[in-house]
Chain A
Amino acid sequence: MNQNPRFDLSFMLRHVPDFGPAILTALEVFIAALAIALVVGVVLALARVTRTQLAWLAAAYVEIFRNTPLLMQLYFIFFGLPIAGVMISPFVSGSAAIGLQHGAFFAEILRGGIAAVRRDQREGGLALGMLPSQVMRQIVLPQALRNSLPAAGNQLVLLLQDTSFVSTIGIFEITLRGQTIAERSAASFEMFVVVGAIYLLLSAILSLAARGLEFAAAYAR
Chain B
Amino acid sequence: MISVSGLHKSYGGTSVLQGVDLAVGRGETVVIIGPSGSGKTTLLRCLNFLVEYDSGQIHVDGKLMWFKDAACSARRPIREIAADRAEIGMVFQSFNLFPHRTVLDNITMAPLTVRRGSLARPEAEREARRLLERVGLGDKASAHPATLSGGQQQRVAIARALAMNPKVMLFDEVTSALDPELVDEVLSVIRQLAEDGMTMVVVTHEIPFALDVADRVIFMDQGAVVEEGPPERVLLHPETPRLKAFLRRFIEMNRIARRMTVEIGAP
Contacts and interface: CB of A to CB of B under 8 A. Distances in A.
A128 B144 contact: no
A123 B147 CA distance: 22
Nearest to A132: B78
A138 B88 CA distance: 21
B4 to A, nearest CB: 18
A139 B86 CA distance: 17
Contacts of B84: 129
B193 to A, nearest CB: 17
Interface residues of B, number: 30
Residue of A127, A130, A146 with most partner-chain B CB within 10 A:
A127
A120 B98 contact: no
Interface in A87-143: 120-121, 123-132, 134, 138-139, 142-143
Interface residues of A, number: 21
B121 to A, nearest CB: 14
B80 to A, nearest CB: 11
Nearest to B88: A127
B94 interface: yes
Interface in B67-88: 78-79, 82-88
A220 interface: yes
A121 B96 contact: yes
Given A131-B78, A131-B79, A124 B85 contact: no
Contacts of A123: 50, 92, 96
Nearest to A122: B96
Contacts of B155: none
Interface of A: 120-121, 123-132, 134, 138-139, 142-143, 146, 219-221
22 contacts: A120-B94, A121-B96, A121-B98, A125-B109, A126-B50, A126-B82, A127-B50, A127-B85, A127-B89, A128-B110, A128-B160, A129-B84, A129-B110, A130-B82, A131-B79, A132-B78, A134-B113, A139-B98, A142-B100, A143-B99, A219-B146, A220-B144
Interface pairs A-B: 3 shortest CB-CB? A129-B86, A124-B96, A128-B110
